[in-house]
Amino acid sequence: MADVYSLGHAMQLHALIIKTRNSHHHYSSPGHSFATNAVVRAYARSERPRDALLFFLHLQQHAPLPDHFTVTFLLASCARRCAASEGRQLHALAHKCGFKADRHVQNSLIHMYCSCGQVDQAAKVFDGMANRDVVSWTSMIGGAVEVNRPLYALRLFDSMQSDGVTPNDVTVVSVLGACAEVGALSVGRRVHQMTVQARLDSKPKVATSLIDMYAKCGCIVCAERLFEQMGNKDVYAWTAMISGLASHGRCDDALSLFHQMVDVGVQPNERTVTAALCACRSAGWVTEGYRIYNYMHRFGLRPKIQHYGCMVDLLARAGHLDEAEGFLRRMPIEPDSVLWRTLIWASRLHGEHDRAEHLMTEWQQLEVNTTDSGSYVLIGNIYASMGDWGKKARIRESMASKNINKLPGYSRIEVDGVLHEFEAGDSGHPEAHKIYEKINEMMEKIKLEGYHPKASEVLLDMEDNKKVLQLHHHSERLAVAFGLLSTNPGEKILVVKNLRSCEDCHTVMKLVSKVYDREITVRDRIRFHHFVNGGDIVRKSRARSHM
């Protein structure tokens, strides 16, 4: 249908349809049906998407069943509102109306379920389709990425190619997002080649996604090259590059680029400011962080929870704990669990155990019904570091009573285009026996370089020798061992970890890079760590004293 009706036109048609509802020209009249669908579609695309359903329900009192256009527009309304319950009812209505095999309706159902986070329901529709087009595949791939199932998204993309369906720019953006999430550099490079051949690489969203993918897959030089080659850079491209530089520890470059962006007249958005504040946080630039935070109003922006979080983290890491706590308590919005645990952990790191204890007590009183596993784990670990095993046990009992599970830590490594995932102590990999033999070899070699395990990193009530064994089997060490086994001498190793690495693993990676003469890059949930010849080559830039 042509996009010819604005919301104002739709409301006029709405009034006309209601006025003539006693006539006999509803869906039986092609013109009336067109007008009805125009109203539903206009409401679905407006700031009042629920009115599409309300209008449809009112009309159903006087009209026969809808056509497939009506159903697709109503499903779009549900997708925008994440209204899964209403979407399921429309799914049943579509079957009743005989649209079960209609590809447009099926694609709309996939999009609706994915928008509501119900990817498994979307997959049932998708798997039942006899004839999938690029929209079907793209909706499923995008939905998988949105609910943080990047490996599933990449498997879908492989199947899409096997089926001979050519991806479009929207598909490519989602696939590159999946590659960025898991560190699938070789897949990302293959997609990049496809975009060049299909002449999609010049599209702004594709170009920005390529920059983001290369930065998150450890190839910041490739990201910079693409950024420099871009013609008209929008705020999203600038933000992706600033964020990438910050995550690689190149904080001075990140802030220089931020100021360059402002100088050329590109208005920062909320994510741009977050990226700039992250650079300040990583480098410990308190004054610079305050300046950027205080300049937000100049860009027409109001601080959100992520900006407050960056400031609290910046101050806390720098040891300005009084200032950080005051900042948290003066916030005009309620601090979330992440902010509380940021301040609690920093208090512990800086040796202010009394502050950490009273903050933990206050957090537990405020967040009595929280299901945030990270905060419980943090508090339990702090009690363990203080030797208070009784309180740690009570934290674990509280988690069990609320059915809260600890987020498992894992590390991923890509070898020959295949992703391998490891958890701590993992024995499920086909090469497990060889991997653990390699671990033992690694530990023996780095001991000759002066390595001494830091058993205190394992916050469990057990003997030190068992703690050391736990350390040796951390997920990133298993991934690196597999990388050493499976790649050629001198080849770079990239490991992506979903949690922060412990201090002992950081030491091990430095020594392994020296002993095996390998460049090892570990991306944890905060930033990249580049280990070369026994050192972490990510260094803080010079201190900044001016904007």
DSSP 439-493: HHHHHHHHHTTT----GGGS-SSS-HHHHHHHHHT-HHHHHHHHHHHHS-TT--E
Question: Predicted confidence band at 536 (pLDDT cuts at 50, 70, 90)?
Answer: confident
pLDDT, one tens digit per residue, over 21-61 is: 544 444 445 545 777 778 878 888 877 888 877 787 777 76
pTM for this structure? 0.87
Q: Are 208 and 236 spatial neighbours (Cβ–Cβ below 8 Å)? A: yes
Question: What average pLDDT does the chain have?
Answer: 88
On whether the CB atoms of residues 140 and 126 are closer than 8 A, the answer is yes
- The whole-number pLDDT of residue 327 equals 94
Burial class (CB in 10 A: 0-12, 13-18, 19+), 322: exposed
Q: Which long-range contacts (CB under 8 A, 24 or more apart) does 367-373 make?
A: 367/337, 367/340, 370/337, 371/402, 371/404, 372/337, 372/338, 373/399, 373/404, 373/405, 373/406, 373/407
pLDDT over 90 (residue 138): yes
Helix (H, G, I), strand (E, B) or coil at 536: strand
Q: How confident is the model at residue 94 (pLDDT cuts 50, 70, 90)?
A: very high
Question: Is the distance from CB of 174 to CB of 145 less than 8 angstroms?
Answer: yes
Using alpha carbons, select from 526, 44, 38, 43 the residue that is nearest to residue 278: 526
- How open is the CA angle 124-130-133, to the nearest 5 degrees? 90
Per-residue pLDDT tens for 181-236?
A: 999 999 999 999 999 999 999 999 999 999 999 999 999 999 999 999 999 999 99
Task: Look up residue 401 and give its two tokens.
Answer: 């009573």
Which tokens in the block code for residue 386? 């203080």
Any residues with CB less than 8 A from the CB of 194 and at least 6 apart, and which? 167, 172, 200
What DSSP state is assigned to residue 420? E
The reported pLDDT for the residue numbered 302 is: 95
The C-alpha atoms of residue 221 and residue 310 are separated, in whole angstroms, by 26
- Cα angle vertex 459, ends 456, 463, to 5°? 70
- Give the pLDDT of residue 336: 87
Confidence band of 375 (pLDDT split at 50, 70, 90): confident
Residue 81 · residue 99 · CB < 8 Å: no
